[in-house]
A and B are shown apart, each in its own frame.
Chain A
Amino acid sequence: MKSWLTPRNAFVTALMIVLALLPVYSALTGNTFMVTLFTRILILAIAAVSLNLIMGFGGMVSFGHAAYLGIGGYVVGILAKEGINSGFVQWPLALVLSGLFALAVGALSLRTRGVYFIMITLAFAQMVYYIANGLDRYGGDDGLTIQRRSDFGGLINLSNRTVFYYLCLVLLMATVYFVWRMVNSRFGLVIQGARSNERRMRAIGFPTFRYKLTCFVIAGVLCGLSGVLLANHTNFISPALMHWTRSGDLIVMAVLGGMGTVFGPVIGAVALLVLEEALPHLMGLASYLATGKEVAAAKEYWQLILGPMMLLIVIYARGGIEGLISGRRRG
């Protein structure tokens, strides 16, 4: 029996406790910004976990994953604009459409591999991006404000900040659990087998295409859920939701956290988004320590640090943060 008390598990547990208690901290200190920030983190973590399902376990590097964020978000936004606020209509429809889109994209793009796969998924995401740009009735490239969040009758009130936070947390944990169960099932092993050697998997009789396509669709649906939540969180949708750099961000989260495990992308999402918030302050502090007074410019140019950091992580820390903690390395 393997010991469960590893540094990695301790870290994950600590992170979970922090996530679970965050609204309590925020209620005590009155710092609502933290809850808003972390709701966003949880939502994007769902997207990153879903991307990692196909990328980390299936070896399908999708550079168009933000498209599902957009589809999920736009279904909520468009229905809300047309006066249909019921979450019982909005949410299932968003998930079904995300799944259908993933089915179409996957059926076509899974015929290609390597960089061609990266580019064709990007191409499909760009198509959706331009469609959204052309939807004049729903704001075109300016985007659309959502007047009311999804309405679940008396069941759950999404407008309550704390309730919404815990909903996102529960959905994230459910996603992680679901993906964890899946990758350890027979299905998941086929997917992972196809990543390491697809020809061999086919030779022993697995129709890998069907398995990979199913996996691709599941990831699409999960990311669509993330889009639904994101639209409800920001009360706003715009094509920027699925700009290709957003897909890049999701890849960064997955790789930064560690692609080898289901929980890695959650760590990655927390790390990247917290870093984005904290870097300006850290740079301000550094400039203060270096020069004796705070240089305003240092705070502004935090991306000068973020970009090279990403490069360094790619070059030196291939297992991501997960790998650093558990001492495991990818590839």
Chain B
Amino acid sequence: MLYLLEQSLNGIQLGMLLFLLAAGLTLIFGIMDFVNLAHGSLYMLGAYFAATFVGLTDSFLAGIALGLVATFFAGIVLEVIAIRPLYGRDHLDHVLGTFGLLIFFNELVRLIWGPAGLTISLPSQMLTAVQVIPGIYYPIYRLVTIGATLTVALLLYILVMRTRVGMLIRAGASNREMVGALGVNIKLLYTLVFGLGAALAGFAGMMQAPLAFVQIGMGENILILAFVVIIIGGIGSIRGAFVAAIIVGLIDTMGRAFLPDLVRTFLSYSAGSSAGPALSSMLIYTLMALVLIFRPEGLFPASSK
């Protein structure tokens, strides 16, 4: 039971991470109708920026803040140079062009930071574990991640639903020509949304960096998961992304935690250790396939479309 609770927390933490990535993806897809495979590269860039700045400033928070600004501007530069010519093309062109960008960024990171990978060390007060409920100790840093992401989710909600910029973003999603005709600088709006998505992805990379290793290609597999999240949630819907991210995070973590034992009760011990992780990875894709078959628009289709 306690183990179950601990694993749920892990699942939620993974879900939060996925949400950060998926929110940016779904914004970019919902508003610009753009499929961005290079989103995982921004996740990676964020982690590398943060690792560098934490090293330079010797402060975790300052490093994260500088990293966020850097990823935001990297996103803006990327949008202006490479993404803008692709708007309005078909999705295949997006996939192909951003696939090229993904290769480029992997190589660029190798050129700048070398092939070895980096680590971010946490400040000492975040290294301890805290008693969540009697009997369960949980690493503070993971709780901080969950809290920080929830805050970001809330801010994002306020930004999109309660501010003038958010109104323009929503308007741009439902009818871009009309918004443009009303005198809104739609190009600038797109650039800012892309920058925002980049910063969110970068933030995800930074939060994950101390838990994992900062390395080339770190964004690739998680990017696919984030795509699964936005498909399950309904493309263009931030609320859907939030719910789907938690579902996917929980399924993945729970599957990894419990499936091996479950398989072991039916088959041999070694079959459990090998088939378990594969099965839990498959669970997510099975869920996505089921959602697409029965609700092709996702669980929470964006109401604007």
The one of A130, A135, A314 that contacts B281, using a Cβ cutoff of 8 Å: A130
- Cα distance A164–B65 in the bound complex, in angstroms: 57
Contact A112–B296 (Cβ < 8 Å): yes
Q: How large is the interface on B (under 10, 10 to 19, 20 to 34, 35 or more residues)?
A: 35 or more
Counting chain A residues whose Cβ lies within 8 A of the other chain, the interface size class is 35 or more
A residues 118-132 near B (Cβ < 8 Å) are: 118-120, 122-124, 126-127, 130-131
Interface residues of B (CB under 8 A from A): 29, 35, 37, 82, 85-86, 89-93, 95-97, 99-108, 110-111, 220, 224, 227-228, 231, 235, 270, 274-279, 281-282, 285-286, 288-289, 292-293, 296
Q: How many angstroms between the C-alpha atoms of A136 and B289 in the bound complex?
A: 26
Tell me, rounded to whole Å, the shortest Cβ–Cβ distance linking B282 to chain A: 5
A123 touches B278 (CB 8 A): no
Which residues of A51-84 are within 8 A (CB) of B? 55, 61, 63
Interface pairs (30), CB distance under 8 Å: A111-B292, A111-B296, A118-B91, A123-B228, A123-B231, A123-B288, A124-B285, A124-B289, A126-B281, A126-B285, A127-B282, A127-B285, A127-B286, A130-B277, A130-B278, A130-B281, A131-B282, A133-B277, A248-B99, A301-B107, A303-B103, A304-B108, A307-B104, A308-B104, A309-B100, A310-B103, A314-B93, A314-B96, A315-B86, A315-B97
State the main secondary structure of chain A at its contact with B.
helix
Contact A311 to B97, CB < 8 A, known contacts A115-B235, A130-B282: yes
Closest A residue to B290 by beta carbon equals A108
**Is A252 engaged at the interface, CB distance under 8 Å to the other chain?**
yes
Main SS of the interface on chain B? helix
Contact between B104 and A303 (Cβ–Cβ < 8 Å)?
yes
Asked if A251 is at the interface of the complex by the 8 Å CB criterion, the answer is yes
**A133 contacts which of B90, B106, B278 (Cβ < 8 Å)?**
B278
Residues of B with C-beta under 8 A to A255: 92, 96
Closest to B83 in A: A311
Residues of chain A having any CB pair with chain B under 8 Å: 55, 61, 63, 108-109, 111-112, 114-116, 118-120, 122-124, 126-127, 130-131, 133-136, 140, 244-245, 248, 251-252, 255, 297, 301, 303-304, 306-311, 314-315, 318, 331
